[in-house]
Structure 1
Amino acid sequence: MHDGLWRVFYTKEALKDRERVIERGWGEKIRSIERALRENPYAPPREKLVGEFKGAYSKRINRQHRVVYQILEEDRAVKVVSAWSHYE
């Protein structure tokens, strides 16, 4: 692994979300988001969230669903906390 890459990991619930996303046919989109997060989690397009997910960011899977993640700068890691709609 290239030293400049970020480590991406999922919470238990987000891993279930990821499986649902892939089952629905959006696997390539989520893998593309994962590659982008490994390269630079700060790169646009991203949305900084407020409310329940304050301090987290999201990237769009499709119109309804988003990957919601936290950046753990000190660990050079990205923690995915949701990969399903956080508006439901």
Structure 2
Amino acid sequence: MPDRPWRVFYTKEALKDREKVIEWGWGEKIRSIGRALRENPYAPPREKLVGELKGAYSKRINRQHRVIYQILEEDRTVKVVSAWSHYE
């Protein structure tokens, strides 16, 4: 029996970011990342973050912007905390 898909949810701030990303024309990219997170949030390409974001991961939307997420293994849930630049 195949593993069930991961549940992905966006924080309030990440939902605002997601709308911004879509407005800027990267809607298909953010949808693609969402599908990838539902399948396997550990799959590359991804970057494990350090510093104040230690324990979180990121996937690139484009050169500047990334989806930042946390993996809640016990709930098989991915919590998207940001979908814009974490450098700003």
TM-score, with structure 2 as normaliser: 0.96
Deviation at residue 59 of structure 1 after TM alignment: 0.1
Give RMSD over aligned pairs: 1.1
Q: Structure 1: which amino acid aligns with 2:15?
A: L
User: Mapping of 1:4-83 within 5 angstroms?
Assistant: 4-83=4-83
Deviation at residue 28 of structure 1 after TM alignment: 0.1
Q: Percent identity?
A: 90
Deviation at residue 4 of structure 1 after TM alignment: 1.5
TM-score, with structure 1 as normaliser: 0.96
Matched position secondary structure for 2:8:
strand
Cα distance in 1 for partners of 2:42, 2:3 equals 17
Q: Structure 2: which amino acid aligns with 1:26?
A: W
Residue deviations 1:21-43, cap 9 Å, x none? 00000000000000000000000
Cα distance in 2 for partners of 1:3, 1:39 equals 9
Runs of 4+ with deviation above 6 angstroms: none
Q: How many residues are aligned here?
A: 87
Gaps of 5+ in 1: none
